[in-house]
Each structure stands twice: as C-alpha cells, then as structure tokens.
Amino acid sequence: MLKKLSVITISAGLIFGAGGGYVQQVDAQKPDGADKGKPDHAGNQKVENVIYMIPDGFNADYATNYRWYKGEDAVWDEHLKGLHRTDSEDSRVTDSAAAGTAMASGVKTNNGSVGLDEEGNEVETILESSSEKGKSTGLVATSTITHATPAVFASHVESRDNEPEIARQMLANEVDVMLGGGKDFFLPESDGGEQDENLLEQAEEAGYTNVETRDDLMEADDIDVEEGEKLLGLFADGPLTPEMEREGTEQPSLSDMTERSIDVLEQDKDGFFLMVEGSQIDWAGHDNDPTWAMKDTEAFEQAVEKAIEFAEEDGNTLVVVAGDHETGGMTVGSNGEYDTKPELVKDVTATGAAMADELNEDRSNVEEVVESHTPFDLTEEDVEEIQEAEDPKMAINHFVSDEALVGWTSDGHTGVDIPVYAYGPQSDSFSGLIDNTDLPKLMAEAMKVNLGDK
C-alpha cells in the first residue's frame, strides 16, 4: 500500500516532506519541450521585483486563437495558474479604469474611476506602496501613458478622461520610468498640447531624461535610479502606432520598452515594480479586427519573453500576466464551422481602420483596397456589403474575420473570467479562481510591502 501511494504521489509531481507540506517534483509531468530539471521557483522564495504584464482586452479565446496563429505554444502557456473575476463595483462588465483600479489597489470601484474607491476616496496602489518601500517603479504602455490602465497605478481622478490631470499626478508621483505615447498631455496649449504648463520642462527639472525615438531610448544607458535619475519616453503625440504599422516609424516596440525599463530599474538594490500594458489588443477587440489583435498579441508576447528571461537570470523576480477584461467577445471558430484559421491573417498588412481610410468617397475601390492588403478574394456580395455598411471599418474586419473563422459577439467589453499566468518566486499563490482585487494583494505579500495605507 505504501509503495502504491508513493508512486501516485510522485506521478502527481509532488514529494511530501517531513513537515507535512510538499515541494515540487521538478522533472515530473513537465510539458514536452520544457527544460527538465529546471525549477520554476514557484515556492516561497524572496521576491525583490515584480513585473506586472497586462494584455488589455485579452482572455482565453485570444490565447487560443493566438496559439493557432503562432503555430505553437505561447511563452505564457506553461505558466497558467488560474482565472480572475473582473466585475466592477457598479457593473458585472467592467471598464479598464475600474478593472485597473482593482488590479492596482485591491479595491473595487465604479466604471470610469481611476485610483478611487466607490465613495471617491483615494486608494493606495501597488506601485505607490512599492515606492514607499524604497523600490524603483515603472509604467509602460502602447496607449498614451495617461490612459486608463497605466493611470490607475500612479494617479487618482474621478474620470479616466481627465488625462491632463493624470499626467500631472503621474509626474508628481515620481514614477522612475514612464514609456509610451501621450506627449500632448505633457505639453502646454501654446505648443499644441493639452496642459496649462509645460510638464516636459518640469520633468527635466525633476531629473527625467526625455527620449522621443527608439534610437534615443536604446542609447539612454547612463540613467542611475540610485542617484534619483529617471526616464521619460513619449514617442507619439497620442497613442503609439499599432504594431503592424510600426515599422515605418521611429517608435520602439513594446519589447524594446520593456527591456530598457528593466535595464534602468534593476539598478535599484531595493528592487523594483514595473507594469507593462499591451494596450491595443483591447482596441483591436473593439474594432473586431483579428489581424490587429493577433499582431499586437505577438508584440506583447515578445515583451513577456524579455520579462521572463530577466526573471530566469535574476531568481528574485515575479512575473504576473493577466488581462483586465475581455473585449469584443472573440470566439474560436465562427459561421457554424468546426474550425478556426487565425494564421490566415498573417499576410494582412493593414488594420480595418487603415483600409477604410483608403476608400474613396463612393467606395468604388473596395475590392482594390481590401485585396491589396489581404490574401483574400472578395465576392460581389462581399464588396456590396462593405460599400453599403454604415461603418466600413467594421465591415472589412468582419470580412477578414469570416475568412479566418474568428467570431465576435460585441464591440465592447464582456464580463468573462480572465486567465492568470505567473512565473517566479511565489507564483503558485495565483492559482485557482481569484478576484482581480487579489492580484495586487498577492504581489504586496510576495514583496512584503504594505498595500492600502493611504
């Protein structure tokens, strides 16, 4: 009987210790291709750094379609831990501000609110509590850096739309690294911006090095956070360009920004907290654009790879990957067919919005435009539907989606549970079905910082 029990225990990947607990059997039940004998440090080891990666709008359907698009497992697949619930204080379907506030502070709030509870009181965020502990902090996004998700970590406003005030508060919060779009929210109206004053000048006075291109970012290697030096990169007046259109710009990729943020922040001997958002996965979902969704997910995966590579070398870094909600009601398969073919969008060269912008006034060039940017042939019926559509962008995206057998149920958010992936020390604490408010609490516990003292 004892021999049978020991066999069952080992096959489950666990070895029971003398204290009644267990440690992971490293070689047991490893997925094909995984490094045998290499521990993932999921236990109770010390956590000095947290890299919090948020693919906005992403859920299991995106993950599944992306796996077929890529043709192999994504970097996060082997690190799946569980799911988190996303409802906000006043709705079963959250927006990014309320979801982000919960994911940053551990407190539910109403849709639209940034860094406030339902009564309008400021709530402390995991970034702020990390800073109080002496850790360096960073925010990275492909939206404006003042957009809802990055905003909730370092500002407290009633409305997510108040981006000028968010910019002021983020600067006052002395976030050590801020990289993304949104230069207009740091410039005065006299320079075409949205501010009453020049926040870029104030940033320089506060010790920030300002960079505006990928080359500037990659060459900014003399920033010493231990000496109070900081990095601000605003690479577009508004949001950054979608990844599939970035090549003709001077903007960095999300992986570029992630890598450089880590390079700067890791100098702090007390550790760091970094949030990285793949912002435009959500925008692709709103547009029901499968190409944009898959290619920005690919860019996000490359950023996650940078984070995990650092965590593997460092040994004291926890990486958590979790979307804030799902967008678009993406499905795996459509039109009643028992299949999905998202890999077909690899050869699509423009977003639906960009294609719609190329249409002439009477839309007589639909076939020419769409076939020049996609590998698909349009029927007369397809052309007619796009010509007569109230929103040609959505009609083009639905045509591409139908060809790739990717379905959509909404042009807004949905309320489904979201996968949680984690790698590094104490990553197992994210297992099971948890709430979005649990995410920052578990990070705070892992880093031994006090969350919620504001």
Q: Say if residue 41's pLDDT is above 60.
A: no
pLDDT value at residue 12:
37
Q: How far is CA 346 from CA 118, 227, 295, 349, in A?
A: 43, 45, 8, 8
pLDDT value at residue 222:
85
Q: Say if residue 128's pLDDT is above 50.
A: yes
Phi-psi region of 174 (alpha: psi -120 to 50; beta: other; left: phi over 0): left
What average pLDDT score do residues 161-176 get? 96
Q: Name residue 229's amino acid.
A: E
Task: Annotate 342-354 with DSSP letters as a single string.
Answer: GGGGGG--S-HHH
Q: How far is CA 263 from CA 128, 223, 295, 311, 316, in A?
A: 21, 9, 25, 12, 15
What average pLDDT score do residues 367-383 get? 97
Cα gap 158→226, rounded to integer Å: 34
**Which CATH number is 49-329+412-447 given?**
3.40.720.10
pLDDT value at residue 187:
96
What average pLDDT score do residues 176-188 get? 97
Sole residue written with tokens 């965590």: 311
pLDDT value at residue 436:
98
Task: Kindly report, residue by residue over 222-237, the tens digit of the pLDDT.
Answer: 899 999 999 999 999 9
Task: Kindly report, residue by residue over 42-62, the tens digit of the pLDDT.
Answer: 667 889 999 999 999 999 999
79 carries a ligand binding annotation: no
Q: How far is CA 399 from CA 292, 328, 366, 378, 402, in A?
A: 14, 16, 12, 9, 5
What are the structural domain ranges in the chain? 49-329+412-447, 331-407
pLDDT value at residue 19:
33
pLDDT value at residue 40:
52
The catalytic residue positions are 96
382 carries a ligand binding annotation: no
| 140 contacts: CB under 8 Å, gap ≥ 6 | 150, 177, 178, 179, 180, 254, 257, 258, 261, 274, 275, 276, 277
What average pLDDT score do residues 245-252 get? 95
Q: Say if residue 31's pLDDT is above 80.
A: no
pLDDT value at residue 36:
37
What average pLDDT score do residues 9-36 get? 36
Cβ 49 vs Cβ 275: under 8 Å: no
307 versus 248: the higher-pLDDT residue is: 307
What average pLDDT score do residues 172-201 get? 94
pLDDT value at residue 452:
81
1 versus 385: the higher-pLDDT residue is: 385
Phi-psi region of 328 (alpha: psi -120 to 50; beta: other; left: phi over 0): left
Q: Which one is the CATH code of 331-407: 3.40.50.10140, 1.20.1250.20, 1.10.60.40, 3.30.479.30?
A: 1.10.60.40
pLDDT value at residue 22:
29
| 8 contacts: CB under 8 Å, gap ≥ 6 | none
pLDDT class for 91, splitting at 50, 70, 90?
very high
149 carries a ligand binding annotation: yes
pLDDT class for 8, splitting at 50, 70, 90?
very low
Q: What is the mean pLDDT of the chain?
A: 91
398 carries a ligand binding annotation: no
Q: Name residue 226's amino acid.
A: E
301 carries a ligand binding annotation: no
pLDDT value at residue 44:
73
**HSE-up (13 A, CA, CB side) for residue 226:** 8
Q: Say if residue 15's pLDDT is above 50.
A: no
Residue 373: count of CB within 10 angstroms of its CB: 20
Q: Say if residue 310's pLDDT is above 50.
A: yes
Task: Kindly report, residue by residue over 254-279, the tens digit of the pLDDT.
Answer: 999 999 999 999 999 999 999 999 99
Sign of the C-alpha dihedral, residues 154, 157, 163, 168? negative
373 carries a ligand binding annotation: no
Torsion, Cα 19 20 26 32, to 10 degrees, reads -170
H or E element that contains 151: helix 148-154
Q: Say if residue 25's pLDDT is above 50.
A: no
